[in-house]
Amino acid sequence: MSGSVGNSTQSLHADDVLNVVSDVAPPMHLSTTFRYSKDPAALVPFADLSDTQIDPNTHVYSRVSAPNQTRFETILSSLLKGSALSYSSGLSSLHAALTLLNPRRISVGEGYHGCHGVIALFTRLTGLKKLPLECEANDLEAGDVILLETPVNPQGTAFDIASFAEKAHSRGAYLIVDSTFAPPGLQDPFLWGADIVMHSGTKYFGGHSDALCGVLATRNKEWYSQLFEDRIFLGSLMGNMESWLCVRSLRTLEVRIQRQSENATRIVKWLHSALNKRNLQSGSESNSASEEAVIQAAVADVYHASVQVTEGDWLSKQMPNGFGPVFSISMKNEEFAKALPSKLHFFQHATSLGGVETLIEWRTMSDPSVDRKLLRISVGLENWEDLKGDLLGAFRQFAGV
């Protein structure tokens, strides 16, 4: 499919080449094993196959490939602008990337705590050394890795991919970009120098809080072939049901992300504007009931790429179509943070993100490393003004007005 075709069209038609039945909605294939051809002349031993001979509509065993998984990866490769492989979870995709590169050092920020768990496994097995994300270039050597999550979990603020790519490549190291918080349409890490792009597809590729998924994409053909072979023996394949669900979800990826990102940015702008208004808490009785005073009484800060202060224009170039659907707020105290989710009607108190419903999480429930005053919000497809009103009503309970 031509690279000039838009993302929404690619989401719907990149897999047209795999249509072998007349069903408009792709069928779900549950089989783990597949019949060989009845024609002996068509039987080619696995060892004799070349990459050019592999038919995407021919499958042998689902730990190698399967119809729904292949369809999902075909669409993803078009959207991510690199050869994509799917995995059973986001963390299994990171495990696969580190197995491929086998670095001696990895430069990584705080970010998603689960990634640090995977790194700890490699430290135990291989002696992998963890370096700070902002380490000097001279701390890296050839073959090392920078793992850059941007936007970062849980705040939703962003890093300059190009600057980290330059640092990595100046030392012969590699850059893995975890772009989970900014799916295709919001950010293309390859454009700014990423060597591997990673996603927890559970989030926006799944999009409905019902499918675990991990994704890696690379433009290096040798790496792709090795990742494909490694996955056979790591065994970290997506299930048939999950692959089918994620194909369904990719059909609406662009419109979901656009709406969710717009909703989040509007709410963040509203909160940020209120927090930066003249302090109204000590004003008149009418002022004490104003939106600004209520927000200032409850909320200490809001974090999101849309209100992030940066040097230069790298952020607007890196994310020209929106700044992502996830942001965080820091409450005035821990008691407010713990209680806020119970006072909301349209925000569901749960971990994870990326679903069509808005989620809020008192982040310390699943991440022991964060400030206990922090709440992460994953904005869904609800009317943003309804979400705004819901938040304001909850904040008023803390302000006592």
The mean pLDDT value of the chain amounts to 94
384 has a pLDDT exceeding 90: yes
pTM for this prediction? 0.94
Mean pLDDT (whole number) for 290-316: 96
Contact 182, 304 (CB under 8 A): no
| pLDDT at residue 133 in the model | 98
pLDDT-derived band at 232 (thresholds 50, 70, 90) equals very high
In tens, the pLDDT along 54-70 reads 688 889 999 999 999 99
Higher pLDDT among residues 3 and 15, named by residue: 15
Domains, the chain: 7-251 (3.40.640.10), 254-399 (3.90.1150.10)
Q: Smallest Cα–Cα separation from 331: which of 373, 364, 369?
A: 373
Provide the percentage of residues in the chain whose pLDDT is more than 90.
Answer: 88
Provide the pLDDT for residue 221.
Answer: 96
- Tell me the per-residue pLDDT of 332-348, one tens digit each, with 9 for 90 and over: 999 999 999 999 999 99
pLDDT in tens, 274-297: 999 986 554 444 455 799 999 999
pLDDT at 286: 47
